């Protein structure tokens, strides 16, 4: 059942690579307002999953508790290095993409490669989370999906401005998303081989989520100066955290 749940979760996450198709008929103003709320929800969900689900469960399951904080730090450093060397930038502002009409095609290819690695890692995190518990697996899947939507919208915009047709951009985005299935096999396989792998991977996932939310997403939110929108951001973050808390009681 764990394998089935993991595969279903990864399939759902992969389908969100097609979210760019829905931007064709949406005005830029409306799209920006949607991303604005989704990024805030994503921040709450990523922080909530890390601190409410992944870290507590990893501490409970770990044979050596010191491995948990070390793995969290390793996760943060890994995502820092990945972003540095692959130029993995999470573009959440569609308007920013719209002004990159001179984007060379190799940038589009770079986005696809880095996105493929990103989805591979997502699969590993989802698989490892389900190996800890179904509750943690569901929480991680939701957090990944909420993060995927704004990222995929940004990636789609970059591919279009790099010279890809809409059909090719969607197709290649979907192909890069399928690496998550390889990741989920690794995420399930490693904990089966060794009992310590599950908590270590979950802790590393928490570190990655903390890095993504704090380094990539929160700075995007700070670009908004309006009081009304800032309050909406805060409310959406709280809703994202609340969703992670609610999963604790749903699982009981």
Alpha carbons 225 and 210: distance in angstroms, whole number: 23
Highest mean pLDDT among 85-99, 198-212, 231-245: 231-245
Annotated domain spans of the chain: 2-10+27-250
pLDDT in tens, 227-242: 998 999 999 999 989 9
Q: What is the DSSP letter of 49?
A: I
Per-residue confidence (pLDDT) for residue 107, from 0 to 100: 62
Alpha carbons 88 and 109: distance in angstroms, whole number: 12
Alpha carbons 222 and 250: distance in angstroms, whole number: 33
**pLDDT of 252 strictly over 50:** yes
Residue with tokens 């890095």: 211
Per-residue confidence (pLDDT) for residue 104, from 0 to 100: 53
pLDDT in tens, 114-141: 678 778 888 988 988 888 888 889 998 9
Per-residue confidence (pLDDT) for residue 105, from 0 to 100: 54
Per-residue confidence (pLDDT) for residue 55, from 0 to 100: 92
Of the listed ranges 46-60, 66-80, 189-203, the one predicted with least confidence: 189-203
Residues near 202 by Cβ (< 8 Å), separated by ≥ 6? 54, 55, 57, 58, 61, 125, 128, 129, 132, 136
CB 200 within 8 A of CB 71: yes
Query: With bands split at pLDDT 50, 70 and 90, how would you rate the model's confidence at 68?
Result: very high
Per-residue confidence (pLDDT) for residue 216, from 0 to 100: 78
Mean pLDDT of the region 168-176: 85
**Count of Cβ atoms closer than 10 Å to residue 84 Cβ:** 9
Say which residue, 121 or 20, is predicted with more confidence: 121
Highest mean pLDDT among 70-74, 123-127, 130-134, 201-205: 70-74
């Amino acid at each position: 059942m764990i394998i089935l749940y993991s595969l279903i979760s990864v399939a759902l996450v992969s389908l969100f690579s097609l979210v760019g198709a829905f931007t064709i008929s949406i005005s830029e103003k409306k799209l920006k307002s949607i991303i604005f709320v989704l990024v805030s929800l994503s921040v709450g969900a990523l922080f909530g999953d890390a601190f409410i689900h992944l870290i507590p469960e990893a501490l409970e399951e770990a044979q050596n508790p010191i491995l948990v904080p070390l793995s969290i730090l390793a996760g943060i450093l890994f995502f820092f290095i990945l972003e540095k060397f692959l130029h993995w930038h999470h573009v959440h502002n569609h308007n920013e993409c719209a002004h990159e009409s001179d984007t060379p095609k190799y940038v589009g290819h770079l986005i696809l490669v880095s996105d493929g690695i990103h989805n591979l890692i997502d699969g590993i995190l989802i698989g490892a989370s389900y190996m800890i518990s179904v509750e943690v697996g569901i929480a991680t899947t939701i957090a990944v999906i909420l993060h995927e939507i704004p990222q995929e919208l940004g990636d789609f915009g970059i591919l279009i401005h790099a010279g890809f047709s809409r059909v090719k951009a969607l197709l290649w985005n979907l192909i890069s998303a399928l690496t998550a299935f390889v990741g989920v096999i690794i995420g399930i396989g490693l904990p089966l081989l060794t009992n310590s792998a599950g908590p270590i991977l979950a802790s590393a996932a928490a570190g990655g989520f903390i890095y993504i939310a704090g380094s990539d997403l929160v700075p995007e939110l700070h670009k908004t100066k309006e009081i009304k929108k800032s309050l909406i951001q805060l409310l959406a973050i709280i809703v994202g955290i609340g969703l992670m808390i609610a999963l604790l009681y749903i699982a009981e």
